[in-house]
Structure 1
Amino acid sequence: MSLIQVIILAVIEGITEFLPISSTGHMIIASSVMGIQSNDFVKLFTVAIQLGAILSVVVLYWKRFFQTLDFYFKLVVAFIPAAVFGLLFSKKIDELMESALTVGITLFIGGIILLFVDKVFNQENVKEEKNVDYLTALKIGFFQCIAMIPGVSRSAATIVGGMSQKLSRKAAAEFSFFLAVPTMFAATAKKLLDFIKEGHVFTGEEIKMLAIGNVVAFIVALLAIKTFITFLEKRGFQLFGWYRILVGGVIIILFLTGHNLEII
């Protein structure tokens, strides 16, 4: 990867990580368009820079991370399903990551679902994230497992999961942000360990790319989170739904017409 490709992927990650449109799916598409050759470091990079974006949550909501132990216990409960499923089905997940058709289909179907989310889940009994109970946290954690399929979007799955449990859009989005912290820390740590276990040694250039990628993703995500929360409260999910349908439809058409979509 060139430096400009690193920055572009990091910007895409920072913008899309917290939007219900799949950051992984967009990085796969962007990598294909830019002709980035797949290798172990590129696969690691696309996971590792998510950590930079996730750290923006800690900065923006730092007071929330220094209040009660109950907050952390709920995150652990919500994180457990994804941790178990991730360990059990890691190889299958990696296989799905190489399927452009999977990304296209999940983006398209997810878009249709988002068109109706605001109408279907319109009962808001829980207005603030701090009022989420343990059972609700666990249920949202199971929704997060769905996002292991590329193109689904972790943000979309957990926000919709929260709204299905009668959380307001804002409360569901904020709980989704907080849950991303342990989830992406664990995913990044696993990828790093796997990379090292396979005998890889980081070059100076690779360390530089990881550093730049995380810094750029962090800065962009800081801006994206607040913008998304404001937009979500005012407009809901329909625009994101139509966007997913458009992008997913284009990917499916390109695939069916024989275009070679290289997957990272």
Structure 2
Amino acid sequence: MTNEQIQVVTIAGNDSDGSAGMPADLHSFFMRHVYGMGILTAAVSGNSYGIEAAQVMPAEFIAQQFATLAKDFKIRAAKTGMLADATVINVVADCYQKYDFGPLVVDPVIITKHGAMLLEEEAYQTFRRRLLPLATVLTPNFFEAQKLTGLELATDEQIVTAARQLQAAGAKNVMIKGRHDDEHQREVRDFVLTATGESFWLAEPYVKTDHVNGTGDSLSAVIAAELAKGQTPAAAIRLAKKFVHTAIAQPIAVGHKFGPINHWATADFK
């Protein structure tokens, strides 16, 4: 009976308001019926108005968390979130290669969904060199895909080319998330390219709401959960897309301004 429950770990920062980062990952793991664990890389003091302070965890502490979990648990998949600097990225890459934590879903967290850069240039280059090639599934948003490939992504053809470039850089499966920053758009379209060569577009109606915190975190967490269950990357990605849309489409009243998505809305989700 030891370790028969499916276990998944998030390697991410903690948002104190529970809307994004590790809390969103753990909410998603719970709703997908896997046991979630967390390796803390940073902590953020924030609320629905914004972030007021942040603290990066020491590299030695991050490494110890990996070692401690590896001694006891059978982790079947992992995902990354906020990795604040080059030191953190290096220790995460080193530890992931040292311990068997299953397939890795990499949510880049290098540029916000509004286009603001989150990493210093050194950390960005370290991410490209060390972490991107380890990705079983890479889930960049539109602006991250632009940065990682140098392409404008103004056409579907450019988005397809970008996915191929990211795959050539080492990511086995790539999901380029579509823009969702235009209140006049009708849908959000994502492009997926798998390791088998399969490719497809996913689309869901655009929902006008300020409650989208944790969208990318939850998407990548659900993909990791489904991979841990033995789903193919394509099946995991398709399910995660519908999961997140369901959670966005039925918002909950938390906070005064920018709020979380509603994981509870997915309770009956198949």
TM-score higher than 0.5: no
Q: Relative to total residues, which structure has the larger helix share, 1 or 2?
A: 1
**Structure with the greater relative contact order (CA < 8 A, sep ≥ 6): 1 or 2?**
1
What TM-score, normalized by structure 1, do the two folds share?
A: 0.26
Q: Relative to total residues, which structure has the larger strand share, 1 or 2?
A: 2
What TM-score, normalized by structure 2, do the two folds share?
A: 0.26
